[in-house]
C-alpha cells in the first residue's frame, strides 16, 4: 500500500457546507410533505371522525414498510389563483408496502389538500402507481376521500380520471383491486371503485354518488342528504355498490388486511395457504340437527358454513344485499375457497335478479384469482312474478349460469335439501361442469316440488275424483317416492355420492385437495360476450 493510499484511507470524508444545506433542505421539504398543509387542517379532518391519509396507510400496511413515490410532486396549473397554492404531494399519497409480508400498492387521497380533488399531477401519480402494481403483479388498494375533479384544471382533470378507469380495466382479473371509501367519492371518482373487485365503506363518513344532493334538488326537486343519497347503508342494502360496511376506519382497514390475506397477489398465483390446526376429518355432528328434513322449514345457512370451514371463519361478501344468497371466502383444510350458498331464511333461498347478479360477480372474481368454488344448494327455484320477469330475470339468471359454465377453477357442489328446476342447474350442477357433486340424504332434486308436479301431471284425475284432496295427497306421495327420493340422481350419475352430513367437512377437504392440480383449457377467443 502506498503512502497516498494510507492517507486516503485514514482521512475522514469531508461534506461541504453546500451539501449539508441541501440535505437539510430536503429533509425539511419531506417533513412538510409528511405533516401536510397545517395542523388546523389535520384537526378539521379528525373532527369529522376521519383519519389523515398517512394515518390510514399506517393502519393498512405492516409497520415501517411504506415506501412513498413522488412525495415532492406539485401541480403546474395556473388560473383562478391555484398557482399560488402548490403543496407537495398534490393531495394524494402513493407508494407500496407490505401486508403480512406481501407487497401491496396503495394510493390515498389527502382531503386536507384541495379537498382531495383530482388534478393533472394528482392523476399522473395515481397512473404511475397503478402501472407499477400491474407490472409487479401485486394488489392495489385505493383509499378514497376526495371531492371529484379539480374544477380549476378543467378537462385535464377529466382526462386524469379516464387514465385511471383505463388502468382499472387493464388490471381487472390480473391483480386484486380494492377500493376503500373513507369520505366523499363523487362524480367521475365513483366509477373507479365500481370497476374494482371490492368496495369497503364506513358508516356515517363515506358517501358515493354521481350527482350530489344540490344537483339532484335542482334537477328533480328532491331534497336529500348526502347520507340518504349515497351513504354506506344505501350502497350496502339497496344499490349493491358496497361489499363491506364497518363502523369505523380502524376496523375497516383491519378487514381489508384480512381480505388481502385470502387473495393471491395476482392471477398467476394461488391464494395463500394457511396451515390448519382443525382436524380435516372432524365429524360435524351438529349438522345433523341444523337442517330440518322438511323442505319448507327455514334455517340459517351461515351456521352450516361455520360448522364446515376452518375455525368457523367466513368472510361474507355483500352481506346485506340480496340476502337470499350467501357469497364469501373461507378456508377448508387451509385452502381458500369461495362459497356460494342459498339462504333459506331469506325469501326461502330462491334465486332472483339481485341474487343472480351478486353470485355471478363473485364466481367470476373467484375464477379470475384461482379460488376454488363450493356451492351449497337448497333452492326452490327462481322467484316468480311480473316484476321479476319484466326486470329481466332471464338475462340476470343467465349471468350466474354463464359464470359457472365459464369457471375453470375446482368446483364442488353439495345439495343439502331442495334443488328444483332451472335453479338446480344454475347452482353449478354436474350438467354445467362442476367437478364433483355430493348430496345429503335429505336431498330432493326435481323439476319442481312434488305438490306442484302432482297438480300438473294428475290434474284430470284429481279434478274428477270424488275426494280430490285424498287423491292429490296420494299422487304427491307417489311422485315423491318415484322421482324425488334421495338416491334418484345418484342412480343416474348426476350426483357422485350421497354422504353422511356429519362427514361433510372431511369429504370436502379431500375433494379440494385432489382438485388442486386441476387444469382446464379455454377455447381461443378475444373475449366472451357475457349476458347483460
- Reference 325, options 359, 296, 292, 353; nearest CA is 359
97, 160, 188, 449: the active-site residue: 188
Q: Distance between alpha carbon 91 and the CA centroid of its chain, in Å? A: 27
> What are the φ/ψ torsions at residue 210 (nearest 5 degrees)?
-80, -45
Element of type H or E holding 183: strand 177-186
187 is known as an active-site residue = yes
The residues, any chain, with a CB within 8 Å of residue 404's CB and separated by 6 or more, are 363, 373, 375, 411, 426, 427, 428, 432, 433, 434
Find where cell 482521512 sits. 11
Distance CA 262, CA 244 (A): 15
Distance CA 8, CA 11 (A): 5
Distance CA 444, CA 455 (A): 18
The three state secondary structure string of 30-76 is HHHHHHCCCHHHHHHHHHCCCCCHHHHHHHHCCCCCCEEECCCCCCC
The residues, any chain, with a CB within 8 Å of residue 48's CB and separated by 6 or more, are 183, 205
187, 230, 231, 421: the active-site residue: 187
423, 450, 489, 511: the active-site residue: 423
- Reference 91, options 104, 79, 74; nearest CA is 74
Q: Tell me if 191 sits within 8 A of 208, measured CB to CB.
A: no
Q: Tell me if 149 sits within 8 A of 157, measured CB to CB.
A: yes
24 is known as an active-site residue = no
Angle between helices 301-308 and 504-515 (to 10 degrees): 60
Distance CA 131, CA 298 (A): 49
154, 204, 422, 452: the active-site residue: 422
> What are the φ/ψ torsions at residue 149 (nearest 5 degrees)?
-70, 145
| Alpha-carbon distances, residue 339 vs 128, 325, 342, 360, 477 (angstroms) | 35, 10, 10, 12, 34
398 is known as an active-site residue = no
284 is known as an active-site residue = no
- Return the ∠ at Cα 517 (arms to 511 and 520), rounded to 5°: 105
Q: Which residues are catalytic?
A: 187-188, 422-423
Amino acid at each position: 500500500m502506498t503512502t497516498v493510499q494510507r492517507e486516503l484511507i485514514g482521512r475522514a470524508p469531508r461534506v461541504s457546507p453546500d451539501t449539508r444545506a441541501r440535505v437539510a433542505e430536503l429533509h425539511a421539504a419531506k417533513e412538510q410533505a409528511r405533516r401536510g398543509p397545517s395542523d388546523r387542517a389535520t384537526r378539521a379532518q379528525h373532527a369529522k371522525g376521519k383519519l389523515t391519509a398517512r394515518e390510514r396507510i399506517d393502519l393498512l400496511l405492516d409497520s415501517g414498510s411504506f415506501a412513498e413515490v413522488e412525495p415532492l410532486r406539485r401541480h403546474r396549473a395556473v388560473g383562478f389563483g391555484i398557482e399560488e397554492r402548490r403543496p407537495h404531494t398534490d393531495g394524494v399519497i402513493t407508494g407500496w408496502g407490505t401486508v403480512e409480508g406481501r407487497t401491496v400498492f396503495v394510493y390515498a387521497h389527502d382531503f386536507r389538500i384541495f379537498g382531495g380533488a383530482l388534478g393533472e399531477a394528482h392523476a399522473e401519480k395515481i397512473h404511475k402507481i397503478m402501472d407499477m402494481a400491474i407490472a409487479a403483479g401485486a394488489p392495489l388498494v385505493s383509499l378514497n376521500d376526495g371531492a371529484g375533479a379539480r374544477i380549476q384544471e378543467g378537462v385535464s382533470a377529466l382526462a386524469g380520471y379516464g387514465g385511471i378507469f383505463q388502468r382499472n380495466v387493464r388490471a381487472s382479473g390480473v391483480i386484486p383491486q380494492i377500493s376503500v371509501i373513507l369520505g366523499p367519492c363523487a362524480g367521475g371518482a365513483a366509477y373507479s371503485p365500481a370497476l374494482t373487485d371490492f368496495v369497503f365503506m364506513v358508516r356515517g363518513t363515506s358517501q358515493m354518488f354521481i350527482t350530489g344532493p344540490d344537483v339532484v334538488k335542482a334537477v328533480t326537486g328532491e331534497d336529500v342528504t348526502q347520507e340518504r343519497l349515497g351513504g354506506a347503508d344505501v350502497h350496502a342494502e339497496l344499490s349493491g355498490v358496497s361489499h363491506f360496511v364497518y363502523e369505523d376506519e380502524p376496523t375497516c382497514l383491519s378487514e381489508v388486511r384480512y381480505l388481502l390475506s385470502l387473495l393471491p397477489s395476482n392471477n398467476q398465483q394461488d391464494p395463500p395457504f394457511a396451515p390448519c390446526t382443525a382436524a380435516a376429518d372432524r365429524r360435524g355432528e351438529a349438522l345433523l340437527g341444523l337442517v330440518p328434513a322438511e323442505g319448507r322449514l327455514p334455517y340459517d345457512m351461515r351456521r352450516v358454513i361455520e360448522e364446515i370451514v376452518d375455525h368457523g371463519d367466513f368472510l361474507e361478501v355483500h352481506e346485506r344485499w340480496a340476502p337470499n344468497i350467501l357469497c364469501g371466502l373461507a378456508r377448508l383444510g387451509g385452502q381458500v375457497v369461495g362459497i356460494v350458498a342459498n339462504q333459506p331464511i331469506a325469501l326461502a333461498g330462491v334465486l332472483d335478479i339481485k341474487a343472480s347478479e351478486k353470485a355471478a360477480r363473485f364466481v367470476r372474481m373467484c375464477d379470475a384469482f384461482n379460488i376454488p368454488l363450493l356451492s351449497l344448494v337448497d333452492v326452490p327455484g327462481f322467484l316468480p312474478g311480473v316484476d321479476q320477469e319484466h326486470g329481466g330475470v332471464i338475462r340476470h339468471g343467465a349471468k350466474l349460469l354463464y359464470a359457472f359454465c365459464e369457471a375453470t377453477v375446482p368446483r364442488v357442489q353439495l345439495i343439502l335439501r331442495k334443488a328444483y328446476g332451472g335453479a338446480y342447474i344454475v347452482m353449478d350442477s354436474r350438467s354445467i361442469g362442476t367437478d364433483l357433486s355430493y348430496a345429503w340424504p335429505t336431498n330432493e332434486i326435481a323439476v319442481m316440488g312434488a305438490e306442484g308436479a302432482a297438480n300438473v301431471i294428475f290434474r284430470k284425475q284429481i279434478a274428477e275424483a270424488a275426494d280430490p284432496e285424498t287423491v292429490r295427497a296420494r299422487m304427491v306421495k307417489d311422485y315423491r317416492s318415484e322421482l324425488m327420493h334421495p338416491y334418484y340422481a345418484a342412480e343416474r350419475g348426476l350426483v357422485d355420492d350421497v354422504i353422511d352430513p356429519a362427514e361433510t367437512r372431511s369429504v370436502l377437504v379431500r375433494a379440494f385437495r385432489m382438485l388442486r392440480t386441476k387444469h382446464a383449457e379455454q377455447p381461443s377467443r378475444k373475449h366472451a360476450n357475457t349476458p347483460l
